[in-house]
A and B are shown apart, each in its own frame.
Chain A
Amino acid sequence: MIDPIFLLEAAVNGIMLGGVLALLALGLNLIFGVLDVVWIAYVDLVMVSMYAVYFTVMVYGWPLWLGGLAGVALGVVLGLLVHVLIITPILDSPPVNQLLATGGLLFFIQSFATFLWTTDHRSVRIALPPLEIAGIFVSYARLISFVLSIAVMIGLYLFLTRTYIGTAMRAVSQDRGAMALMGANPQRVYLVTSAVGGAMAGVAAVLLSIQYSVHPYFGAAFGPITFMICVLGGLGNMVGAFVASFIMSEIIAIGGVVWSTEMGYVIAFALFIVMMFVRPGGIFARRQ
């Protein structure tokens, strides 16, 4: 039998992981809600930003906060580039073409990163002692990531509810046609959405880079679980994605301790499939 203390530790770690996953899921969900496009390569953009943090901090010796800002800025630029170069020309194409265009981008980014930076794992090493609370060890890096990701999500919430453009974004996600009729400029809303989505990817990249080492296939490790979370919470549903992140991260963390990391993921994905059948519209969907 597994010592309950390990389970408790896994549960705490699960919550920490859930914060960052929620950040990823909210960014992707925001883009889906407004643009009705799933960026298959979303987490690969995160990977590129992680490299930015790694190179600015570890190679050029910038302070972490400055490197972090560079990572976020790069995320914004990448988000805008993806929207302008890839999504805009195919906004009216069938969904399969949109999925595949960003899927092609996934191949492109992964292999180009392999070409540029090889498959070596690189990590931003910050020496922080683990924190011990009642016999449970929690890494400081994870705690900081968790707190920051919650702060950023509160910021996103305020942005969406308190600003004009944020309100416009929510309006578009509810009714695309009516939005144009009201005289708002959908193009501008799309651009801002992609930039904000990119910024979320950048922030997630910074928070992930102080916990995990980065490699070209980082996106493959975190991508599928991010999609699952979005669908589980209901595509475009922010609160749903937030809750789903913690459900999934707990399953992965506890499953990882009890069986193995892969089994944790298998259980999480299996639960996802089952949930799709029980509640196809996401955990918070109203029954029709």
Chain B
Amino acid sequence: MSATPGRIAFATVVAFLGIAPFLPMAGMKQYMLHVVIQIFIWTFIGQAWSLMGRFGLVSLGHGAFLGIGAYATTLLWNFYGLTPWIGSLVAVALAVVMAFLVAYPCSRFGIIGHYFALTTLAVGEVVRLLIIAERDWTGGSLGVTLKAAGDASFIALQYADKQVWYYVGLVLWLAGLWVWARLDRSMARAAMEAIGEDETAAASVGIRVTRFKLWLTVLSAALTALGGVAYAQYITYVNPETLSGIGVSLRIVFAVVLGGMYSLLGPTVGTALTIALSEWLRIVFGVKFIGMAETIYGLLLVIFIIFLPAGIYGSLADLVRRRRRPAAAPATA
């Protein structure tokens, strides 16, 4: 057994799983719990994004799917009293339709690279502006608060107890890891990597480029919408700026790229770091220097991206690999 980065990652996950279920019982502070839940949910969203991102489908508009997910369940509950258990299905269906509408022509007409990034950015903006424009329904830029459920917390999927959300987040995170690993081991991965390298060449060896890209985008969008539902149900307040548009879309991408999008734990590491960083900066500066926390956040992001292009986790994994190689070389000689 040698310590490949993959094995280390696997061992880390297993070790964490051993203690994770008991963490909230050890008298974890409510605030810590809140931070961890946010990390779980946003990691799930980041994992969903990285399903596309790692194959060169850089979307800057995942806020669109996030916003659709969050607003669909919230509005269905507020106006029609529809339980989020069904509402989330509607939300995912809407996100899938949206993803299909965007991804089909994009794949069909070969919109890739910068063009794909900017097209998706426009999609994210459309959703944000539609939410603002339909203010009679959505509350415009003021956002909407989820109607309190009272006793029916299971039907409404509303729990004041953060411990419940901790386990929901944990399950989501694991589900995200599972989907990621599943895709990583499938034939689709080889096909998608070939497509990411060169579409025409991939098509020439019989890979169905359009079908693969479409499938991946739809999967990613559906999971993102689900993440949006979870976030909205947890926070019980939705707002166009925090759930759609360019800001949140960039934040998702940042977290993933910072962690490293080519590795299983990359999105987790990146999201945990960015959320911990922004929470920490928020506490340090509080309300004294408005904007200072975000300023440092932005500055650090630029520095990280310049100096750690493979992401933090990716760079660490490279380091482990490099350390191993000199040791292994004499053995073969």
Interface residues, chain A, with chain B CB atoms under 8 Å away:
32, 38, 40, 86, 89-90, 93-97, 99-101, 103-116, 118, 216, 220, 223-224, 227-228, 230-231, 235, 259-260, 262-263, 265-266, 269-270, 272-273, 276-277, 280
A93–B254 CB distance below 8 A: no
Residues of chain A within 8 A (CB-CB) of B247 are 220
With the chains together, A121 CA to B289 CA distance in Å?
A: 19
B194 at interface (Cβ–Cβ under 8 A)? no
A99–B58 CB distance below 8 A: yes
B309–A97 CB distance below 8 A: yes
List the one stretch of B103-111, B144-152, B222-230 in contact with chain A: B103-111
A10 smallest CB distance to B (angstroms): 18
Interface centre among B113, B132, B295, B297 (most CB of A within 10 A): B295
Given A104-B298, A111-B295, check contact A276 B257 (CB 8 Å).
no
B119–A273 CB distance below 8 A: yes
Residues of chain B within 8 A (CB-CB) of A118 are 290
B94 at interface (Cβ–Cβ under 8 A)? no
A269–B125 CB distance below 8 A: yes
B117 at interface (Cβ–Cβ under 8 A)? yes
List the one stretch of B168-176, B211-219, B300-308 in contact with chain A: B300-308
A101 smallest CB distance to B (angstroms): 5
Given A86-B306, A99-B58, A224-B121, check contact A269 B129 (CB 8 Å).
yes
Residues of chain B within 8 A (CB-CB) of A96 are 53, 58, 117, 253, 257
| Chain B interface size, under 10 / 10 to 19 / 20 to 34 / 35 or more | 35 or more
With the chains together, A116 CA to B246 CA distance in Å?
A: 23
With the chains together, A266 CA to B297 CA distance in Å?
A: 30
A106 smallest CB distance to B (angstroms): 7
A93–B119 CB distance below 8 A: no
Chain B residues 278-292 with CB under 8 Å of chain A are: 289-292
A254 smallest CB distance to B (angstroms): 16
B250–A103 CB distance below 8 A: yes
B115–A105 CB distance below 8 A: no
B81 smallest CB distance to A (angstroms): 28
Given A100-B250, A107-B294, check contact A89 B306 (CB 8 Å).
yes
A267 smallest CB distance to B (angstroms): 9
Residues of chain B within 8 A (CB-CB) of A116 are 291
Chain B residues 244-267 with CB under 8 Å of chain A are: 246-247, 250, 253-254, 257
Residues of chain A within 8 A (CB-CB) of B309 are 90, 93-94, 97
With the chains together, A96 CA to B108 CA distance in Å?
A: 22
A106–B298 CB distance below 8 A: yes
Residues of chain B within 8 A (CB-CB) of A224 are 121-122, 125, 246
- CB contact between A115 and one of B118, B246, B250, B291 (< 8 Å): that residue: B291
- CB contact between A104 and one of B111, B122, B254 (< 8 Å): that residue: B254
A273–B306 CB distance below 8 A: no
Closest to B132 in A: A262
B191 at interface (Cβ–Cβ under 8 A)? no
A231–B299 CB distance below 8 A: no
B300 smallest CB distance to A (angstroms): 8
B122–A112 CB distance below 8 A: no
With the chains together, A273 CA to B124 CA distance in Å?
A: 11
A114–B117 CB distance below 8 A: no
Closest to B113 in A: A95
Given A100-B250, A104-B301, A115-B289, check contact A276 B105 (CB 8 Å).
yes
10 nearest interchain CB pairs? A108-B298, A107-B298, A111-B294, A114-B291, A115-B291, A104-B301, A277-B105, A262-B133, A104-B302, A111-B291
A203 smallest CB distance to B (angstroms): 24
- CB contact between B254 and one of A100, A231, A262, A269 (< 8 Å): that residue: A100
A38–B114 CB distance below 8 A: yes
B294 smallest CB distance to A (angstroms): 3
Closest to A93 in B: B309
B60 at interface (Cβ–Cβ under 8 A)? yes
Closest to A270 in B: B126
Residues of chain A within 8 A (CB-CB) of B291 are 111-116, 216
- CB contact between A110 and one of B53, B106, B109, B294 (< 8 Å): that residue: B294
A111–B58 CB distance below 8 A: no
- CB contact between A227 and one of B118, B289, B301 (< 8 Å): that residue: B118
B89 smallest CB distance to A (angstroms): 26
B115–A273 CB distance below 8 A: no
B76 at interface (Cβ–Cβ under 8 A)? no
Interface centre among B105, B114, B246, B247 (most CB of A within 10 A): B114
B123 at interface (Cβ–Cβ under 8 A)? yes
B297–A111 CB distance below 8 A: yes
With the chains together, A260 CA to B133 CA distance in Å?
A: 8
- CB contact between B246 and one of A220, A262, A272, A276 (< 8 Å): that residue: A220
